Amino acid sequence: MESELLLSDRCEPHLICQLAGVYPENPFCTPQYVEYLRREGRRPWLVAERRSGQIRWGALGAYARGRVCTSLHLVSLSTINSPEGLWKRLADASRRCGIHELHINSLASPVTEIPRLPFESRRQRRREFVVDLQSPNWMARLSANHRRNEKKARKLGIEVLETCETAAVDAHIALQGDSMARRSARGEAAPQSFSRKAIESFLITGAGTIFQARRDEQVLASIAVLRSQHGAYYQSAGASPAGMEHGASHALILQVCDRLRSAGIRRFSLGGVNQGNTGLERFKAGFGAVPVELDTATYFVGAAVRRKLVTMARGLRDHSRGYAASRLARKQNTALYSNALASGSKSDGLHDS
């Protein structure tokens, strides 16, 4: 029997439950994640290949309509075990739905290589670190540094608590800021603003929980974890300077691994690492995590005329952003120069007197 390709924004509950059953280790294929997308004001779509009414392959995505381009972002492409012909059918179905661009990501995916197709416009290799919690040798792969830090935290009486209360979000966001400030100080590119609403939505919809390491009622480290039946994903985390000094981050992640394992979680992804960030790679690998090489790709499936229009619009947008940034930089430099002149004049006056 020939398979059926489903591309729909209806996301009917029985279909999402089927998808979750096909991918029990993927936190981006759950009914809770669909509700999270809706709560964030995004339109969830389901892409699936069905045979005899049963989903064989699928992914969840978010639909976005811009001024000149409509796109579908597939968050996690779990497996690529379907024939290449499926991709042409997906492109054709996308065009019929008025979608011009497909963005395919691979969060929490197993080893995956996205097929190279004629209408590909962008591709990037990425790497995640994954802990196999069912492996009997998992603990044996912990680094000596991580063991020392966990032991230090235990001696200091640091406790780990799990919560779904939105009151925990403020501490989580503050600790994220502490961690990003350290990365910026090291010269790394790091975000400086974080979405409180996104973390709250994870908790409210049941898509994830927060684990926090505390000592004497002070939160030293925090991690937000997305969950499915047998999988988990490290969504975001942070630690205070005191938390780093006391080994709270190491103790927290090891405790989370232990609790997830006891809850039947088999696969815990510690998230991706930007190319060249060897320090973060060592940190994640120190928990016994194995690197998984993955792809992300973008395909422009709209008409050639539409593609030219989108390219022109984005070029103008990028140019205007660059112009605005250069104007701001010039204003800042002028202000600095004026302040320097003013300071110099005052200094000269004092010297003359």
For the chain, give the number of residues.
353
Give the model's pLDDT for residue 205.
97
**pTM of the predicted protein model:** 0.84
**Tokens standing for residue 347:** 């200094």
Round to whole Å and give the CA distance between 35 and 309.
34
Round to whole Å and give the CA distance between 112 and 293.
7
Give the model's pLDDT for residue 184.
81
Give the model's pLDDT for residue 254.
96
| Domains, the chain | 4-127+296-302 (3.40.630.30), 134-265 (3.40.630.30)
Round to whole Å and give the CA distance between 304 and 302.
7
Give the model's pLDDT for residue 118.
80
Contact residues for 214 (Cβ-Cβ < 8 A; gap 6+): 158, 159, 160, 161, 220
Residues of the chain short of pLDDT 50, as ranges, are 329, 332-353
Give the model's pLDDT for residue 18.
96
Give the model's pLDDT for residue 238.
94
Phi first, then psi: what are they for 131, rounded to 5°?
A: -100, 125
Give the model's pLDDT for residue 7.
94
Angle between helices 31-39 and 13-22 (to 10 degrees): 120
**Across the strands, what pairs with 272?**
128
Round to whole Å and give the CA distance between 254 and 194.
25
**Tokens standing for residue 26:** 């993927």
Round to whole Å and give the CA distance between 320 and 324.
6
